[in-house]
Structure formats: C-alpha cells, structure tokens
C-alpha cells in the first residue's frame, strides 16, 4: 500500500496546487501564484527523490547507482530552491512547500475516519450524510466569504492608492507616462493564460517582453510537441493487439486517411495524406487547446493562421510545378486555354487566376482566425457577464462567477472541429485542382463540385 499511497498523494497534491495557484492568482497576485505552484512542485520533486533514494538503498531491487543519482539530483534541487527563494515571495513558496504534507495529513485522517464507527454511523443514514454535507458547506461559506471580502477591500484600497499616485504624476507633468501605462493595462476580454501570467509576473524585463510578443508561437510549439509525444507513445505499442491508447489514435487517423484518399484518388491520395492529415490534426488540436484552462488557441491569432495558409499556398504551387511542369503550371494559371478565343483571352484570364491563387491563403487564414477568435471572445464575454451578475444577485462572496459560458463550450467544440475540417478539405481541393485534369475528372464525386466551387471563389 505504501507506494500506491504515495502515488495518490502526488496526484492529489498536484490537483490542489493547480487549484490553489488559480485562487492565489485571482485574489492575491501573479508572483504569489507562481511561488505557490513552484513551492508545491519543488516539494513533490523532493519527495519523489527521497523515495528513489530509499528504494534504491533498501528496496527489493536495490540500485546504489540510482540512489546516488537521486542524491545528486536532490543537491541540485536545493540549489534550485535557493534561486526560487531569491526570486519569488517566500511565504507563497512556503505555503506551496507544505501543501503535500497537508495532503498527507488529511489523507491519513480520512483513512482513519473512514474505518471508524462514527463514519459508519453517519453514512448508514442518507439523511445524516446530507446533514453533514450541509454543515460543511455552511462552514466553508462562512470561511471563504470574509476572506474574499477582505481581499476585495484590499484590492479597492490598492486601486485608490494607484489612482492617487497617478493623479500626482499627472499633476507633475507625467501625462505621457501615465497614458502609456493605461494603454498597456487596457481592458481585455481575453482570459488570462499561463503565458500571460508569466509575462505579467516578468513585466519590465526581456523575458516578459518575449512572452508577450511570441505568445501564440509558444502555444503553437507546445501543441506540436504534445502531438509528437502522442504519436511517439502510440507508435511504441507494437503488440499484436494494440492497447486502448493506440486504438484511439488510429480511430482518429483512419477517417482522415479515407476522406483524403476519397477526394484525391488512390494514386495521389496516399502521397499527400501525411501533409493534409497532419494539417487537420494540428489545426484541430490548436483550436481545442483554448478550451483547456490556462491555455489559448494559437489559431485565434491571425499570424498563426496566415502562416498555415501560406504554407498550404507554397506547397500547392510546388505540387503544381512538380506534377504539371513549369510550362504546365503557367498554362493552368492562364486558364488552360485550348481554342483560339481562349488564347486571345489569356491576357485577361491570367491576372484573374493569379489573384485567385493569392486570395486563397487570405481566405483560409481569415476564415479560421475569425471563427476561433470569435469563439474566444464569446466565451470570455459570457464569463465576464457571469462575474458581473454576482454583484446584481448579491453573490459577491463566491470565489467564482456564474458559469454562463459553460453552454457555449459545446458550440466551441463543434466549431473547432468544423473549422479544422474546412481548412483541411479546402487545402485538399486546392491540391486536387493542381493535379492533371484527367485525374481530377476521374475522381471528382460527392462533395467535390461544391468544394471545388468554394476553392475557385475563396472570398465568399
């Protein structure tokens, strides 16, 4: 039971640290929240290393080398703790450090309580159990409300003090500096995410500026790394009967493969599945990443969506030159003229086709950006409305707002899937239009004419 108990302790402490950091960021400050999370992480790492030392020296599979490496890592962890004490609030670090020990104490108390006669007597009757839950809820309410109100009073005092200081600065001629600060701290409907919190905690230095400038890029890289990790774990399962994780990955991959091959045909479909399938899964993951707390959808940034669309545009032109040849590519851009009249219309058709090709990445990027950005604004707007309604309904003591945005999470989920599918399908059609025409007519079916029409008129 010992190691299983420690595993449960780590999981519970990790969840408690995340929740505690969120509450600390909301009702205290971002540096305190980071300090609380860092202290909890440091304590959990320390307990894990101690466990490795003990098992390496006294366990059934003794490994002195592993124990020595754990001791060296623990020394390095002490050095990291010294750096954290110098950079972050000590009280927040201490609170995070004691969190796993509090969890251990509560776990031990709960185990003793669950096996006691008192607990058996309480849970024997559902009415007694409901009464106990009610008492605990009332006790929690009268504990949380004074704390949140006190914190709210401190916040109003800090705002008033900041206003006084700003007024003094304006009286002394510091209007420009105050204007810049107000512009930097302007209201925003977006949720704070992990990168935003770190950027605000490091405001004024190079790290904070970097995080603010490359926020969308950072989340794009994180999503890409997570997808690489998923694929790596799935491909390591080489059993004759794959496990549930690999089955789930294959369930996602098979319909993507079938749809692409269905559109491009068996000759060209498998050749372009790696690009188009990766594009769909990557965009889908980025769209859904914003639903995760403290994360953000990178596709809500026009820079990311335009980069994706520009990649598709360059790859499509490369495919056209490869499959049709350079002269064939120019012939396609000229409208594939055959008769004398069509050749005479080339000076008019050629610039129109070129503008149509250039409009495709603009259309792809704007469509994806507009829908995902609109989702984020919708969720943030209703979440803000839920917080505002607390004052109207006299629920200011709650540590959270009314979850009015919850119902729109399902709309965001559906829209994220649809937009990733539209982006991938239009990219597939753009490739289809650049393939030899006999192949295009041979495999055109079903949704092909509709998608082809959309591809020819991307601005609509």
Q: Is residue 207 part of a domain?
A: no
Segment 10-22 shows an average pLDDT of 81
Whole-number Å distance between alpha carbons of 383 and 221: 28
Whole-structure pTM value: 0.61
Whole-number Å distance between alpha carbons of 163 and 265: 67
Indicate whether 166 and 266 sit together in one domain: no
Per the structure, the count of domains in the chain is 2
User: What pLDDT score does 396 carry?
Assistant: 59
Indicate whether 158 and 268 sit together in one domain: no
Segment 246-256 shows an average pLDDT of 85
Q: Is residue 198 part of a domain?
A: no
Q: What is the number of alpha carbons within 13 Å of residue 306 lying toward its C-beta?
A: 7
Query: Is 294 within 8 Å of 285 (Cβ atoms)?
Result: no
Instruction: Determine phi and psi for 337, rounding to 5 degrees.
Output: -65, 145
Which of 143, 172, 201 marks a domain boundary? 172
Q: Is residue 26 part of a domain?
A: yes
The DSSP annotation for 377-402 comes to HHHHHHHHHHHHHHHHTT-TTSSS--
What would the pLDDT profile of 261-272 be if each residue is shown by its tens digit?
A: 888 888 888 889
The tokens describing 150, both together, are 């006190």
What would the pLDDT profile of 304-362 be if each residue is shown by its tens digit?
A: 999 999 999 999 999 888 888 888 888 878 777 788 887 887 788 888 888 888 888 88
Chain position carrying tokens 């669309």: 309
Compare 405 and 264 and report the one with higher pLDDT.
264
Compare 300 and 189 and report the one with higher pLDDT.
300
Query: Is 56 within 8 Å of 66 (Cβ atoms)?
Result: yes
Indicate whether 403 and 268 sit together in one domain: yes
Residue 238 has pLDDT above 90, yes or no: no
Indicate whether 308 and 431 sit together in one domain: yes
Indicate whether 448 and 308 sit together in one domain: yes
The DSSP annotation for 84-108 comes to HHHHS-HHHHHHHHHHHHHHHHHHH
Whole-number Å distance between alpha carbons of 220 and 215: 9
Indicate whether 300 and 412 sit together in one domain: yes
Indicate whether 115 and 244 sit together in one domain: no
Widest Cα–Cα separation across the chain: 98
User: What pLDDT score does 397 carry?
Assistant: 56
Q: Is 77 helix (H, G, I), strand (E, B) or coil?
A: helix
The tokens describing 205, both together, are 């230095």
Q: How far is CA 35 from CA 46, 85, 348, in A?
A: 16, 9, 65
Residue 281 has pLDDT above 70, yes or no: yes
Q: Is residue 69 part of a domain?
A: yes
Whole-number Å distance between alpha carbons of 396 and 256: 48
Indicate whether 309 and 375 sit together in one domain: yes
Q: Is residue 118 part of a domain?
A: yes
Q: How far is CA 6 from CA 47, 261, 430, 433, in A?
A: 9, 49, 55, 59
Indicate whether 364 and 265 sit together in one domain: yes
Region for 294 from its dihedrals, namely left if φ exceeds 0, alpha if ψ lies in -120 to 50, beta otherwise? left
Whole-number Å distance between alpha carbons of 68 and 56: 9
Q: How far is CA 28 from CA 20, 33, 212, in A?
A: 11, 8, 22
Q: Is 251 exposed, middle or buried (0-12, 13-18, 19+ CB in 10 A)?
A: exposed
Q: Is 295 helix (H, G, I), strand (E, B) or coil?
A: coil
298 DSSP 8-state letter: G
Q: Is residue 320 part of a domain?
A: yes
Segment 96-107 shows an average pLDDT of 82
**pLDDT category, 425, cuts 50, 70, 90?**
very high
**pLDDT category, 152, cuts 50, 70, 90?**
very low
Compare 456 and 278 and report the one with higher pLDDT.
278
Indicate whether 158 and 275 sit together in one domain: no
Q: Is residue 178 part of a domain?
A: no
**Helices and strands in the chain: count of H runs, count of E runs:** 17, 0
Which of 138, 172, 206 marks a domain boundary? 172
Alpha carbon of residue 10 to chain centroid: 23
Q: What is the number of alpha carbons within 13 Å of residue 205 lying toward its C-beta?
A: 6
Indicate whether 130 and 277 sit together in one domain: no
Structural domain boundaries enclosing 362: 222-456
| Residue from 22, 17, 2, 7 nearest 399 by CA | 22
User: What pLDDT score does 453 carry?
Assistant: 47
Q: Is 160 helix (H, G, I), strand (E, B) or coil?
A: helix
Indicate whether 449 and 314 sit together in one domain: yes
Which of 157, 172, 187 marks a domain boundary? 172
Q: Is 293 helix (H, G, I), strand (E, B) or coil?
A: coil
Q: Is the dihedral of CA 288, 290, 295, 299 positive or negative?
A: positive
Q: Is residue 196 part of a domain?
A: no
């Amino acid at each position: 039971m010992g190691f299983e108990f420690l595993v449960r302790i780590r999981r519970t402490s990790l969840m408690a640290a995340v929740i505690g950091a969120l509450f600390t960021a909301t009702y205290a400050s971002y540096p305190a929240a980071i300090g609380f999370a860092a202290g909890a992480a440091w304590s959990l790492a320390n307990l894990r290393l101690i466990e490795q030392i003990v098992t390496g020296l006294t366990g059934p599979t003794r490994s002195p080398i592993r124990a020595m490496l754990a001791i060296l890592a623990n020394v390095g962890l002490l050095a990291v703790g010294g750096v954290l004490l110098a950079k972050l609030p000590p009280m927040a670090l201490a609170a995070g450090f004691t969190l796993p020990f509090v969890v251990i104490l509560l776990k031990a108390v709960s185990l003793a309580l669950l096996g006691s006669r008192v607990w058996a007597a309480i849970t024997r009757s559902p009415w007694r159990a409901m009464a106990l839950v009610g008492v605990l809820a009332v006790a929690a309410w009268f504990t949380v409300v004074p704390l949140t109100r006190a914190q709210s009073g401190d916040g109003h005092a800090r705002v008033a003090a900041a206003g006084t200081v700003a007024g003094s600065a304006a009286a002394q001629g510091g209007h420009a500096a105050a204007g810049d600060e107000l512009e930097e701290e302007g209201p925003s409907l977006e949720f704070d995410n992990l990168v935003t919190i770190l950027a605000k905690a490091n405001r004024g230095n190079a790290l904070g500026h970097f995080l603010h400038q490359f926020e969308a890029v950072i989340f794009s890289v994180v999503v890409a790394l997570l997808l690489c990790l998923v694929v790596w774990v799935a491909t390591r399962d080489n059993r004759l009967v794959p496990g549930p994780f690999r089955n789930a990955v294959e369930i996602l991959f098979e319909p993507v493969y079938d749809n692409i091959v269905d559109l491009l045909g068996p000759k060209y479909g498998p050749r372009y599945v790696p690009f188009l399938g990766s594009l769909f899964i990557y965009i889908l993951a980025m769209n859904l990443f914003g639903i995760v707390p403290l994360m953000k959808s990178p596709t809500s940034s026009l820079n990311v969506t335009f980069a994706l669309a520009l990649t598709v545009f360059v790859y499509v032109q490369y495919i056209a030159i490869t499959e049709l040849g350079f002269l064939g590519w120019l012939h396609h851009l000229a409208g594939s003229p055959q008769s004398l009249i069509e050749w005479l219309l080339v000076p008019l058709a050629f610039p129109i086709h070129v503008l149509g090709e250039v409009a495709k990445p603009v259309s792809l990027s704007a469509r994806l950006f507009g829908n995902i950005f609109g989702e984020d604004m919708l969720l943030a707007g209703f979440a803000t409305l839920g917080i505002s309604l607390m004052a109207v309904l006299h629920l200011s003591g709650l540590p959270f707002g009314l979850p009015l945005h919850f119902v729109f999470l399902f709309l965001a989920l559906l829209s994220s899937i649809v937009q990733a599918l539209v982006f991938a399908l239009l990219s597939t059609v753009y490739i289809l239009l650049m393939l030899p025409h006999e192949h295009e007519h041979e495999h055109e079916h079903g949704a092909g004419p509709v998608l082809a029409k959309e591809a020819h008129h991307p601005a609509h």
